[in-house]
Amino acid sequence: MRSHREIVQSHGAAALARDLATQGVKLSQSTPQRWAERDSIPGEYWRELAALGVASLEELADAASRRTPGHAA
């Protein structure tokens, strides 16, 4: 399974920001890049990512559960 960083990178940070905007999600163009840098996608965006086919809810949850304790979110 991919990490949150790999999920963002495989779709492309700029493409992800654009595609989320088509779903009505308002965020800064640089936000997905920050998610990749932190290796953490906030749960409030998971449903939209799954709807776009970027990653399944299960994959996002698995990646979140494998994060190193103490890693900055």
Per-residue pLDDT of 22-61, as tens digits, reads 999 999 999 999 999 999 999 999 999 999 999 999 999 9
Answer yes or no: is 72 within a domain: no
Residue 47 inside a domain? The answer is yes
46 domain residue, yes or no = yes
Question: Is 39 inside any structural domain?
Answer: yes
- Residues spanned by the domain of 29: 4-65
Indicate whether 60 belongs to any domain. Answer: yes
Q: How many distinct structural domains can be found in the chain?
A: 1
Angle CA 31–59–70, to nearest 5:
65
Q: What is the pTM for the complete model shown?
A: 0.88
Q: Domain for residue 70, yes or no? A: no
How many Å apart are CA 21 and CA 12, to the nearest integer? 14
67: which 2 tokens? 């994060």
7 pLDDT above the threshold of 70: yes
